[in-house]
Amino acid sequence: MAAMLLMGSSVFAGGGYDFSIGPKIGYQTARLSYQRDDIKAGFANHFTVGLFGRIEFGRFYVQPEVLWFKSQSVFDLTTNVEQETIVDNITIPNGANMTFTLNAMNIQVPFLVGFKHTVVNNLLAIRVQAGPTLNFTIPQKTLLNENVGNSNPIELDNDTFDTQTIAFGFQGGLGLDVLKRITLDVNYNFGITKAFGADAINNTEWGQYVNTNNISDAHTNLFMVTIGYKFL
């Protein structure tokens, strides 16, 4: 992406366009919170790092980004067996509540278009932005917790979930530019593509014995909070 942005810089140089590029860090969360402990937990468990570029023409701008982050999807499922059944050496009774946890690595490519309004002697700019996103997901670890006593989570095959490797979304939100260099963005990502395929749990026996309705209809909807710095 850096090469593309540098080429864009040379094309627009001298034509009334401003070009900038820089790193950004942050976290993603299912809900926004101003509590310090929640923010610390967000950085610790859902850390996000990436690169962004911006081409500004007047009050309008385009901002492509490449972001990397780890995600954790947790699903509470109920078994629907007629009698006690053994799957992968795990005994599952009828009506048992189990928790499936999918850990994955993600690369997200948003392409945002926005409008900014500068205030306070050009030291602060308020921005509104929106645009499509392309998401690449690589499952890393799938865990099953039987929720019985002090049982430890059991690691399953990574192909237990029919994860969508490529998914599309739409992102929109607000941003601030402080001292022309520091950026703060709070965006909400709406998952257009379902997070999982038609067979949410595939290639194993689990799909026969577990109710997967809430997995099959899952979308990747979350807030992304990032802080960046413009080098140029």
In this prediction, residue 41 has a pLDDT band, given cuts at 50, 70 and 90, of: confident
* Tens-place pLDDT, residues 127-179: 999 999 999 988 777 777 765 544 667 676 666 666 778 889 999 999 999 99
pLDDT at site 5: 45
- Provide the whole-model pTM: 0.76
Identify the top-confidence range among 3-12, 67-76, 170-179, 206-215. 170-179
Q: Where are the domains of the chain?
A: 19-174+185-220
Q: Smallest Cα–Cα separation from 28: which of 39, 15, 13?
A: 39
Between 79 and 23, whose confidence is greater? 23
Of 10-14, 58-62, 124-128, 221-225, least confident by mean pLDDT is 10-14
Residue with tokens 């599952």: 92
Phi, psi dihedrals of residue 54, rounded to the nearest 5°: -145, 135
Between 217 and 33, whose confidence is greater? 33
Whether 169 contacts 133, CB under 8 Å = yes
